[in-house]
Chain A
């Protein structure tokens, strides 16, 4: 398992999750968990995904996702999971 965390922050609009998921499925990235909420009027979404079987390298995934975020008008980040688990789990 090679987990990454994808986060989307921005103004809510139709089809954000759909577009992110479409891209991920094209690249054979398996989505393990999705959660979302509205914080201070901002749409916050987090996805845990496994890139072990991905058809493209991690660098390309996060570069493409960031660009996709710009197209939609939201901020999309894709980070390796360890930064979060290290910080929040002993």
Chain B
């Protein structure tokens, strides 16, 4: 039977160490909403989302109450819209109409984000893909809750450099289209390499075409719990450190597994995966950077940061996989700048640079995330940043992503406030030298040699 100390430990994690389930994300296939008439597509999409997700928010809240664990976000991911709208949409403007429908459906069912305004163009672009990509700036400007992602490469296909160049332009255009809100639109736009089909986390969630009609994916969190556990292992060797992280990750993930199974049962929707991610929030004590500092770094960004992060990421996975029957999504430590107080402090103090962050993305999920850069950064430089990050993903057979925010009208030294879970960020300097000729070449970077495994 349970003992008092186990119960106290769990409740302390929830009350004092910010243990929560970060998101229950319902994936909904919209492939059966395809039609050649745009109004029909919009009606079908709205009807299906509001029917399937009608009880998502209330069920999430009921589970949170029953188990006494907060479930922070209830969200929806849908089939990449370039596939759903391809037949009906003849122009970027047509796709924007679908974005508005998604936004309306999200408001109706009460979810705070809906992901899947996406195109998968790792090898080439159809006309529909291109129209969707061109519509992103306007779609991000005229919707509140829609998240967009574009997959521009994979280990199997190489990098679509035409798409990379185009996305450099679209990130900048999205920043301009939402400049009244400190370029907030870019916080809802991710450029991926090796994007997973079952990621529950925003802004990169979409419901892949390999998935069932509907599915429940759950993202867990708990940097604060890991940090507090490590405080008790100060001065111990790496073996003790790793054991502590693994045990803690196991416990955190079990809560996610429980919530996922319960949500699946109550909603009558199959369980998909648990995403084993350490997802920070701007709150003090809920920070991945603070874990790295607890491991022994004066500040994140100091030499040793990449090694510490690699170890943390690996131990989280090793502890987590045993706690869940199905693990997927991004699964790793997140290192967003604006959403992590320790990261913000490290950048402000000059300890952490864009280049160090890039190195860190080689060993953890996901990529350059929530990084504010000067508003006068050129589209080719942004494309270069995307290409670098995508190359890391392609060569290392992992997911990488770029979510940078060129803040129009702001420059290094300024701070930008996004609000809520998105936090705030100091604008970071970008290498001033040009890569214009490189990204303008056009075509594809071929798949790496180790992708030929057949």
Q: Are A37 and B4 neighbours in the complex by a CB distance under 8 Å?
A: yes
- A5 in contact with B7 given A48-B1, A83-B258 (CB within 8 Å): yes
Q: Is the CB of A48 within 8 A of B2?
A: yes
Minimum C-beta distance from A54 to chain B (A): 14
Number of interface residues of A (CB under 8 A): 28
Cβ of A7 < 8 Å from any Cβ of B?
Answer: yes
Instruction: Report chain A residues within 8 Å CB of B7.
Output: 5, 7, 46, 84
Residues of B within 8 A of A81 (CB): 2
Q: Which residues of A contact B65 (CB under 8 A)?
A: 59, 62
Which residues from chain B contact A77 at a C-beta distance below 8 Å? 11, 68
Q: Which residues of chain B from 100 to 121 have a CB within 8 Å of any chain A CB?
A: none
Inter-chain contacts of B449 with A (CB < 8 A): none
- Report the bound CA distance from A33 to B1 in whole Å: 9
Taking the complex as formed, is B210 at the interface, i.e. its CB lies under 8 A from any CB of chain A?
no
Are A85 and B2 neighbours in the complex by a CB distance under 8 Å? yes
A21-45 interface mask toward B, CB cutoff 8 Å, 1 = contact, 0 = none? 0000000000001011101000011
Number of B residues with CB within 8 Å of any CB on chain A:
21
Q: CA–CA, A77 to B1, complex, Å?
A: 19
Decide: A79 near B4, CB < 8 A? Known: A87-B251, A87-B254, A88-B10.
Answer: no
A52-90 to B contact mask, C-beta < 8 Å, 1/0: 000000110010000000000000011111111111101
Given contacts A39-B8, A44-B8, A58-B66, contact A86 B257 (CB under 8 A): yes
CB contact between B6 and one of A37, A45, A62, A88 (< 8 Å): that residue: A88
Q: Is B255 located at the chain interface by the 8 A CB criterion?
A: yes
Residue pair B69, A83 in contact (C-beta under 8 Å): yes
A77 CA / B65 CA spacing, docked (Å):
10
Asked if A83 contacts B2 (CB within 8 A), the reply is: no
**Complex interface: chain B residues within 8 A of A33 (CB):** 1
A48 to B258, CA, bound (A): 19
Instruction: Name which of B7, B251, B254 has the most chain A CB atoms within 10 A of its CB.
Output: B7
Q: How far is the CB of B448 from chain A (nearest CB, A)?
A: 40
Which A residues are CB-close (under 8 A) to B452? none
Taking the closest CB of chain B, its distance from the CB of A12, in whole angstroms, is 15
**A83 touching B4 by the CB < 8 A rule?**
no
B258 touches A82 (CB 8 A): yes
Complex contact B1–A79 (CB within 8 A): no
B67 interface residue, CB < 8 Å from A?
yes
Complex: A39 Cα to B381 Cα, angstroms:
57
Chain B residue at smallest Cβ distance from A32: B1
Nearest residue, chain B, Cβ from A63: B65
Q: Which residue of B lies closest to A36 (CB)?
A: B4
Chain B residues, CB < 8 A from A35:
3-4
Of all chain A residues, the one with the shortest Cβ separation from B7 is A46
A61 to B132, CA, bound (A): 51
* Chain A residue contacts of B251, Cβ below 8 A: 87-88
Q: List 10 A-B contacts (CB under 8 A).
A: A35-B4, A36-B4, A44-B8, A45-B4, A79-B68, A82-B258, A83-B67, A84-B7, A86-B257, A87-B6
Q: Give 20 new A-B contacts, CB below 8 A, not counting A48-B1, A83-B255, A90-B322.
A: A5-B2, A5-B7, A7-B7, A37-B4, A39-B8, A46-B2, A46-B8, A48-B2, A58-B66, A79-B68, A80-B67, A81-B2, A82-B67, A83-B10, A83-B67, A83-B68, A85-B2, A86-B255, A86-B257, A88-B9
